[in-house]
Chains A and B, each alone.
Chain A
Amino acid sequence: MKDISLTIDGKKVHGHEGDTVLDVCRKNGIDVPTLCEFKGLTNVGACRMCVVDIEGERRINPSCTYPARDGLVVHTKTEKIEKYRRLILELMFTEKNHYCMYCEASGDCELQAMGYRYQMDNVRYPYTTPATKVDSLSEYMVIDHGRCILCGRCVRVCGEIEANHTLDFAKRGFKTVVSADLAQSLGESSCTQCGACLQACPTGAIFSKLSLYKVKPSECQEVKTVCPICGVGCELKVLIKDNNLVKIESPQLTGEKGPLCRMGRFGLLSDGHRRITSPWIRDKEGKLKQCTLDEALEAAGSRMKKLGKNFTGVVSSRLPSETLSLFCQFMKQVVGTNRIDTMGGEAFRVIAEGTKAFNKKSEGPEIECNMDEILKADCILLVGADPLKTHPIVASLIRRAVDRNQARLVVIDSQNDVMTLWRNLWLKPRAGSEVTLLNGLMNVILSKGLTKGKEAPAKLIQSLSEYNAERVHADTDVDAADLETAAETYAKAKHAVIIYGQGVWHSRSPVLVTDLLNLADLTGNRNGDHLRVISLKPAANSRGAWNLGAAAKDLSLSHVQGLYLLTSDEQVDNDEVLGWLRTIDFLVVQASYRSAVTSMADVVLPSPIWAERDGGQYVSLDGHVAKSYRVIEPKKGLLQDQEIVRELSKKMGHELSSDQEVSCG
C-alpha cells in the first residue's frame, strides 16, 4: 500500500492509499466525532458529524467517505465546522423524542455523549415530538423509533454482516423510518434475531428485553469466553455485575462470526428453567426427595460398582474437553466400562464411517475445510442441513457469500426448502434416495467432462454410469433439467463448498458422506489436504468429544441396566431418547435444570450452568481450539461437574489423577 501524506489541522500526517480522511485522522490521533460510522461497515456519510473542511472543495465533506489523497489539506476543527456540528446535533435531538431520563441507553448512548461533548445545555428549536411507534413484538428486542437517529448502522449490519436484509429504510424525508421487511413488526418479520442491530445501535432505539433497565454496561465487568452451544465457536463478551449475567455481546461485531446468533446472544441469558441446586434421590415410595451429596453419591456409586461394565455413560458434548476426558476416565477406570457415548454421537459415527476412505492417518473430520471457505465460495451445496436452525452463523456466512460473491446456492433436502430466499435451486429427492441423487449428479459431471483436478478412478466412473437422468428421476423424483443445472452450477464454480448437516446422519447413511467428499474431490474443490466440505456437527465441543473418542460406541438405544447421564445444561428433548431412558433400570442424571429426564432419574446430581463452569478447551466444528472461562461464581454449594465425578470416584474407592488425558476409545 502506497504511503500518502496530508496536512490535517496544520500538521503533516501520513496514511495509506485507500484510506478515508477519517481513517487518517484516527491513525494520527486526531479526534473527529462520528455517529453513523461503524467499524467494518460501509461508510455512508449520513449523520454529518464527521464533516471537515477540505481545501479546494466548495462544500464541507464528511471525512468518513472522503478518499484521502496525497497533499490534501484538511481542517477538522474550524469555527464553522464546530458550529455546524452543534447545529446538526441540535436538529438530531429535536427531530425525535430524545428524553434521556426515560431511556434504557442513558449513560451508554453515543448521542447523549455527543450532547455532552458539545455542551448542549439547550436547543433553539422546539422538539418535533413526532408520534413514533414502539415495536416490542420481537422475542428479545424492542425498537423505539422515537429514539432513532437514522444512522443506518442497524440497516447496514443487518445487510452487510448478518446479510439477512430484514432492516431497511422505509418512507422518505422526515418520515423515514427503519423498517423490518415491508413495514412489519420485527417479531413477525424475517429477522433472525441475531441482535447485531442492537449492538450496533448508538442510542436506545433498539434494546434487549433481557437486559432492559438492569444496569449500565459501563458499570459491568467483561468476561470473554467461547459460546457453548453449536460448534461454530463464536467468541462471547459477557457483561456481568454482582455475579449476575447482564448482557452478551460480540467482541467483533463485524467480523466473520461477529453477529452472534439468537442462541448465543439471547438464548444463553434466558434462564426460564428451574435450577437444580442440591442432590435428589428416589426413596422407597418411588418419590424423588432432596438428600445430601454423600447420600446421593453413595446410592449412585454402589449401583455402578455393582453393575460395572454393564453400566453406560453418556455425556453432553457442550462440556469442555477436560470434563469429557475426566468422565471417560471415570467410566473406564472406576466403573470399568467402555460403554461411553456423547449426546448426538450418531452424527460422528456417520461422518467417521463416511470419511474413512479419505483419511489415511485417522478416522474423523480432518479432511473437512475451514468455515472461512464459505465466505470465499461462489457456489454452495447445502445438503440435509438447516443452518438457520442449528448453526445460524453458518447461515449468515452463506448469505454473505451469496451477497458478496453472487454465490449460487443449491439445496438438497428431502423435507424442507431451507433458505428459500437465497437458494437458486432446491433438489428435493424422495426420502432415502439421496445417494442416488448424488450419484446422478456425479454422473452428469463426469459425462459432461466437468471434472477438475484429480482424474476420477475408473471404478467410480464404472459404478456411476448407471445413474442416468431417467433412472435418477425415477428413483428420486428430481427433474433431469434440475439435476443438470445443479451439476453444472456446482462443477463450473471456481470455489464450491459443500455443507451438510443433521439430515445426513439422521439417514444413518455414511455413503452419503463419502459421495459428498467424492463430489468435492472430482471437481477439484480442495485446499491442500482439505476438501471443501463442512459438516454441521451438533454441539459446541462435538469435535473435541470425538477427538477423545467419546462417541465411538453405537449404543443404538439398546437396553442398558444402568446409565450415568451428564447433561449439565443441555436439554434432552428427543422423544425417542426420552422413551429409551424410561426403559433403564437405574438412572443417574447430573443436570443443571429440572426436566423430564431428571424426573425419571433415580439419583439427581446438581450441575453448574455454562457460565458457572470452570474454563476449558473447546474444539470448533472446523477444528479450531478455543478456551472457555468461568464467567460467574456457581450458585452456593454447587460443585463443578468434575468435582462431582471425582467425589463419586472417591466414593467408589478411586482417586482420579488430575492431569491425565484419557482417550475414551
Chain B
Amino acid sequence: MNKINTLQDLEEIKKRVRPLLAVREDTNFARFKEARQIDVLVCRGTGCTAAGADEVEDAFREAIKRRGLEKRVRVNVTKIGCRGFCEKGPNVTITPGDILYTRVRRADVDEIVEKHLVRGEIVERLVYVDPISNKPAPANKDIEFYKRQRRIVLFLNGLIDPWSIEEYMAFDGYRAFIKALTSMKPDDVVEEVLKSGLRGRGGAGFPTGRKWGMVRSAQGNEKFVVCNGDEGDPGAFMNRSVLEGNPHTLIEGMLIGAFAIGNVRQGYAYVRAEYPLAIETLNHAIKQAREYGLLGQNILGTGFSFDLDIFPGAGAFVCGEETALLISIEGKRGNPRQRPPFPANKGLFDKPTTLNNVETWSIVPQIVLKGADWYKGIGVGGNAGTKTFCLVGKITNSGIAEVPVGTPLGHVVFDIGGGPPKGKSFKSVQIGGPSGGVIPIEHINTPVDYESVTSLGAIMGSGGLIVMDEDSCMVDMAKFFLQFTKDESCGKCLPCRAGIPKMLEILNKITQGHGTMEDLDVLQELAEMVGSASLCGLGQTAPNPVLSTIRHFRAEYESHIIDKKCPAAVCAGLFRAPCQHTCPVGLDVPGYVSFIKDGRFDEAYRLIRQRMPFPSVCGRVCNHPCEGKCRRGQMDDPVAIRHLKRFAADWAAEKGFEYTPKVNGKRNESVAIVGAGPAGLSAAQDLAMDGYQVTVFEALPVAGGMLAVGIPEYRLPNEMLNAEVSAIEKLGVDIRLNTRIHDVDALFAQGYKAVFLALGAHLGERMRVPGEDVKGVYDAVEFLRNVNLGREVEMGKKVAVIGGGNTATDSARVALRMGASQVDMFYRREKKDMPAIEEEIVAVEEEGIHIHELTAPTRVLSQEGKVTGLELVRMELGEFDKSGRKTPRQIKGSEYSVACDTVIQAIGQRPDTGFTEKYGIKIGMGRTISADRRTLATDRPGVFAGGDAVTGPWTVIEAIAAGQRAASSIKRYLQGQELGPRVDREDQETFLIPRPEDVEDVKERPRVTISELHPGKRASSFKEVNMGYTAQEAMSEASRCLRCDAEAGGE
C-alpha cells in the first residue's frame, strides 16, 4: 500500500505518473503520427454512459487488441469524467491532438480505430460541427463552447481518470491539504479562504471564509463538515460532473476545511440517490484516500484525524435546504427547521457544522495551493473566481459552462451557448432554478454575479441557467416552476404548503383564459407573503419565478388575461391550434389546410375569405408568424401555410370564384377612413358588412397602400391586389383616390361620425451622412413607389443599397430588374441579424446581389452633383442591445470606398403625421400616432388610428388585424358601447372541418418545395418569382399538418 507519509511521497507519485499523462495535454494533432503513446479518453459521465459509452469503451478495447496496435504504440483506453457536453455524448477524445468525436456509437469504433488510430486521419463525419458557422471543429480547443470558458473547478474533468487517485496526485492533488496540514495554522487557512473572496456556490453566496471562521469559533469539541450534493434544480447537473469527474478534489477540500475549522473528525457528503454513478465514484475515491492514509486516524502522523462518509439523499428537493439536509442525515423526516440558530452553532446532531456545496469545497484545494490572490484575480469586477452553469433549454450548445463570476449574461448565452437554435429570438433566462427568476433580454449585458442577479429579482442559485426563446411563454414557465415547488414543498409551514398551490391555481386560471386583472394583484400579494413568511429557502424563493415574470413580462400576463392570447402559443387552454392563435386575424389555419388536403378548395378559400379580405395578398407576402409556431416545425419543417393559402386564392381566381360577404342591414352613420392600405380597407370591409356608410380617402392614384406602391410586382402582381380591392368596393365602399386628407375637423363637419386614420408609413428615413443630397441618392420608399406607379426612374449600372430590411431587399431586387448590372447591399450588423424575412435574403443572394455585412456608410461621394461612390466604415460588434443583437460600433480608421452611381437608402420609414396634433391627436415615438394598443382609440373621441401609422413600419397581416380591430371599436363607439379588446366578428358561414384521421406513424418529411422562376430569368422582368403549388403539391403539403387543433380541442 502506498501510504502517504510525507510531501515527498506525494512528489514521487507525481513524478512517476505525470509523464504518462503528458500526451493528454498535447493538443497538436500534427504530432499524432509519430506519437509513441495514444490515449483514447471515453467520457463515462452519467450522460455519456446513458447514451452507450460503456459499449463504446469496450469496443475500443477490443478493436485495439484485435489490430495489435499496442505492439506499436502504447494505447490507453481511459474512462474520464464529464466535460459537460452531455448533449453530444457519448464523447470520445483521442490524444495527442485533442480530437473529439461526438455521438459515437459502437458501430463507429472500428472506423475510428482504423482511420484515426492506425492511419492518423480524422474521421470527419463524427467530429463536432459548429452549429452557427457550420464549420467542423475537430479539436476540443476549437470548440466555441469550450474556447470561451475559464475552467478552474472543472480543469481536471476530462483530463484524469476519476477512479485513479494517482492521476489526481499527478496534477498536484492532495498537495494543498498536505501543505495546510504540515505548514499552516488552521487560522491561516481560514484567513486565506476569506481573503480569496470565495463565496458559497450553492447559491446564497455567503463568504466561505466567514462561515468557516464562525464554526471555528463556535463552542464545542465536536464539529462536522458536510457537503451538500443534493443537486435538485431541474436542469442542473454541474455538481454531478465534479463528483463523477474529479471526486478527490471534493475530498481534499473537505479535509482542508476539517483541518481549518478544528475539532472535526467526521464529514458527510450528502449526495442525492438519483446520482448512483456519482455515489459509486465518490465511494471509490474515499476508499482510495483511506488506503493512502489521507482519511482516517492520525493522518500523516500529525494527530489530525478525519473521515468522510456518503449519505445518500432520498429524493426530496427540500433536502437541499441546509437544515433539512442535516436533519435528514440524523435519520429523521427531512423537514427544514427555523433558523436561527444557524448550523454554524447548532447543526448536525446539534453540533456546530459547516455545510458547503460541492463546487465550493472543490475549489478550496486550488485556493490553498495557488493562493488567495490568484483566485481573487479571476473574477470580473471584484467578484472572485468562476461559477459553473448548466446551460439548458432553448440553447444551441447545452452543457456545463464555467465562466468568471461577473461575465455578462449575453456572453454566456450567445458566445458560449450559441443562442437559441433554429434562429429563434432569445427572450430570457431563468437563473437559479425554481428558486430563481427570469432575466429578460433587456438585461442581457448584466454581469452574472450575486448582487446584479439579485437586483433583477433572480438569484444566482447553484447554477441552473434555462434559456428561453420566443416560443417560451413566461406565464407557463412560472407555472412549471410553481408546479415543481408545490410538489416539493415539505408541507411544514403554511405559506409554502398552501400558498404555492393557490398561486398555481391562479396561474392556471390565467393560462386557461379565465384570469382577471384582480387575480394578478392577488397573485402578487400572495407571492410577496409566501416569499416573506415562509420557513425555509424553498418557500421564501418559490415565488421568485412568479414575481420576476410579473416584473419583467407583465404585458405577457395582461395579454393572457385581457386579450386571451398566449403570445408564445404555449398555453393550450387558450386556443385550438398555435398557428391560428398566432395569426393576428385568427385565421382558421387547421380548417383550410385540411380542406385543401381533402381537395375541397372552394371551402378552403371561403373559410379564409370570410375572415379576411386579402387571401391572395397574404398568400404571397405575409411574414407568416403562424409557421413559426407550427408544431410540425418541431419535427422537421413547419407546414407551408402561406403557400397553401396562396394556392387556395389562386385556385379561386383561376376558377373565377367570387366571394361576396353579406351586408347585414343598413345603418345611417357614415365613417371616414383615411388611407386605402390593408388597414384602411380591412376596416372598410368590416364596417360595410355591418351596414355603415364607408368612405376611404387615398392620397395616391391607386388603392392598396404599401401593397400597391411598396411591394414589387414580382412578389405581388397588381391584378391580384386589384381583384381583392374591387371585391371590397362591391360592398358599397366608396374609395376616393388622389384625395389627401389633412383636416380631421373637416371630416366631422362633412357629417362623418367617426374617423379611422390608417395613413401608413410612407416617408423614408435618411442616412444623415455628408453628401447625401445629390442626384442618384434615392429614398427606398419613394424609389419603389415610383417604380410601382410606372413613373420614370433613372437607374444606374452600379447600385448600392443601404439597409437590411424587406424594403432594402425589395429595392435591391427591383434595381436589378430595372437594369442595374451590379447591386450591392451594405448592412451595419451581421447578415444573421438582418430583419428581412429569410426567403428574401435567400432570393437576393440567388439573384447575384452581394450582401456586405458589418459595414456602414459615412459619406456619399459625388462629382458635379452626381453620385460616384460611397465611403463606408467597417463595424465591429460591441455589447448586446435590447433586441439581443450586438450593437455595431465603427472601427476607427477602417474607412474604405466603393464606386457606384446609384445609392438607395432603405433604413427606415415613418408616417406623415405632421397635421394631426392640431386636431387633438397625440404623436408618440418615431412620429407615430398614439392610440390605445387594444381599442386603437386616439385621444380625440371618434378618431381611431391603426396600421403602420401607429406601429411604424410593420407587417401586412398586423395592418389587416388593426383594421378589423378599428372597425370593431368604431362600431362600439357609434353604438355607445364601452370600448374594449377586440371581439372577433361572428362567422357568416359555418364550416364542418374534416376530422383528422388517426395519424398512426408520422414520418419525417420535409415541406413540398414551391416552384420558382429560375434566378437567371428573373433580372429581366417583373414576372412573379414564386409560381405557387399545383393542386397535387398543395394536397401533399397540406397532409403534413399534424392537426394539433384536434388534439388540443379534444375533438
Contacts and interface: CB of A to CB of B under 8 A. Distances in A.
Interface string A68-103: 000000000000000110011001101100000000
B493 A46 contact: yes
B532 A168 contact: no
A370 to B, nearest CB: 29
Contact of A128 (B337, B338, B341, B501): B501
Interface stretch (A171-179, A314-322, A608-616): A171-179
A128 B341 CA distance: 35
B535 A48 contact: yes
A47 B494 contact: yes
A48 B499 CA distance: 12
Interface in B483-503: 486-495, 497-502
Contacts of B338: 44-45, 61-62, 65-66
A67 B340 contact: yes
Contact of B488 (A65, A88, A95, A173): A173
Most buried by B among A47, A66, A172, A175: A172
Contact of B532 (A46, A60, A150, A172): A60
A172 B487 CA distance: 7
A45 B540 CA distance: 14
A168 B334 CA distance: 12
B492 A44 contact: yes
B335 interface: yes
Given A45-B338, A67-B340, A59 B493 contact: no
Contact of B495 (A91, A94, A124, A172): A91
Most buried by A among B333, B489, B529, B535: B529
Contacts of B489: 172-174
Nearest to B491: A176
A647 to B, nearest CB: 62
A168 B331 CA distance: 14
B533 interface: yes
Contacts of B492: 44, 46, 150, 152, 169, 176
Contacts of A149: 494
B522 interface: yes
B494 A91 contact: yes
A126 interface: yes
A150 B502 contact: no
A48 B316 contact: no
B470 interface: no
Nearest to A96: B498
Interface residues of B, number: 35
A342 B756 CA distance: 108
Interface string B311-348: 00000101000000000000001010110110000000
A125 interface: yes
Nearest to B340: A67
Contacts of B340: 66-67
Nearest to A85: B533
A171 to B, nearest CB: 7
A91 B488 contact: no
Contacts of B70: none
A197 interface: no
Contact of A45 (B486, B490, B493, B531): B493
B838 interface: no
Contact of B533 (A65, A84, A94, A152): A84
A51 interface: yes
A90 B580 CA distance: 41
Nearest to B526: A87
A162 to B, nearest CB: 18
Contacts of B490: 172-173, 176
Contacts of B502: 91, 94, 125
B341 A88 contact: no
A175 to B, nearest CB: 7
* Chain B, interface SS category: helix
Given A66-B340, A87-B526, A172-B488, A46 B535 contact: yes
B502 to A, nearest CB: 5
Contacts of A66: 338, 340
Contacts of B505: 125-126
Contact of A174 (B341, B486, B526, B534): B486
Nearest to A128: B501
Contacts of B529: 83-84, 87-88
Contacts of A61: 338
Given A66-B340, A84-B529, A172 B494 contact: no
A620 B486 CA distance: 53
B525 interface: yes
Interface residues of A, number: 36
Most buried by B among A46, A51, A66, A149: A46
A51 B499 contact: no
A38 to B, nearest CB: 16
B494 A92 contact: yes
Given A46-B494, A173-B487, A175-B491, A51 B335 contact: no
Nearest to A62: B338
B491 A150 contact: yes
A543 B120 CA distance: 99
Contacts of B316: 172
Most buried by A among B487, B489, B533: B533
B512 to A, nearest CB: 14
A174 B501 contact: yes
A174 B497 contact: yes
Contacts of B488: 172-173
Contacts of A83: 529
B525 A87 contact: yes
Contacts of B525: 87
Contacts of B318: 172
Interface in A94-152: 94-95, 124-126, 128, 149-150, 152
B497 A88 contact: no
A323 B497 CA distance: 58
Contacts of B497: 95, 150, 173-174, 176
Nearest to A176: B491
Nearest to B536: A45
Interface string B989-1004: 0000000000000000
A88 B491 contact: no
Contacts of B337: 44-45
A290 to B, nearest CB: 61
A149 to B, nearest CB: 8
B727 to A, nearest CB: 50
A60 to B, nearest CB: 6
Contacts of B532: 59-60, 84
A172 B500 CA distance: 13
Contacts of B500: 173-174
A276 to B, nearest CB: 52
Contacts of A152: 492
B333 A168 contact: yes
Interface string B518-540: 00001001100101111100001
B533 A51 contact: yes
Contact of A173 (B341, B491, B526, B534): B491
A150 B496 CA distance: 13
A171 B486 CA distance: 12
Nearest to A125: B502
Given A60-B533, A174-B491, A176-B491, A91 B486 contact: no
10 contacts: A46-B493, A48-B533, A59-B533, A66-B340, A67-B340, A84-B529, A88-B529, A91-B498, A149-B494, A152-B492
Interface of A: 44-48, 51, 59-62, 65-67, 83-84, 87-88, 91-92, 94-95, 124-126, 128, 149-150, 152, 168-169, 171-176
The 3 A-B pairs at the shortest CB distance, nearest first, are namely A176-B491, A173-B489, A45-B338
Given A48-B494, A59-B540, A88-B495, 18 more contacts: A44-B337, A46-B494, A51-B533, A59-B533, A84-B532, A87-B526, A95-B497, A95-B498, A150-B492, A169-B491, A172-B491, A173-B487, A173-B488, A173-B490, A174-B500, A175-B491, A176-B490, A176-B492
